[in-house]
Amino acid sequence: MTNLQRMTAEILFLNPDDVAPGSATLIEHGFDVEVLDWVDDYGPTVFILATITTELGDEKFLDWVSKLARPLGGDVSVAGLAENMARHRAEAELEMKLNQAELIAHRARQRQHSV
């Protein structure tokens, strides 16, 4: 009996020009690909989620998706069961919102001090 499970990898591309060919290759291998609207303050990084149903476990899945993404300019930042990745994504989005709120508050304080 095969133990199929939904697995997801969060992949980042430092060069936005690598996203289309990287995504196309993942789609050719059966992945569902979602380009995220996350913003990296340090560069034009583009983040994607690649999800597939597989019988691979965490380590083998990470190795496989890394071997697909790396030659195309992608770097797998985290990978695992899709349900765990959904939690990770929610936490990351919350962290980004908190960071943005802190930045807005910091800028407001700077404006107050400059007046």
The whole-number mean pLDDT for each consecutive block of 10 residues of the chain, a chain of 115 residues, reads 84 92 95 82 84 91 94 89 69 73 75 73
Q: What's the total number of domains in the chain?
A: 1
What pLDDT is attached to residue 80? Answer: 76
Distance, CA of 106 to CA of 109 (rounded, Å)? 5
- What is the value of pTM for the model shown? 0.70
Token pair of 13, please? 């591309």
What pLDDT is attached to residue 85? Answer: 67
Q: Find the CATH number of the domain harbouring 37.
A: 3.30.70.970
Structure-token match 């890394």, residue found:
66
What pLDDT is attached to residue 115? Answer: 63
Task: Check residue 80 and give left, alpha or beta (phi > 0: left; psi -120 to 50: alpha).
Answer: left
Report the DSSP beta bridge partners of residue 53: 6
Residue 26 makes CB contacts below 8 A (sequence gap 6+) with 11, 33, 48, 50, 65, 68, 69
Domain range holding 51? 5-82
Domain annotation covers residue 92: no
What pLDDT is attached to residue 12? Answer: 92
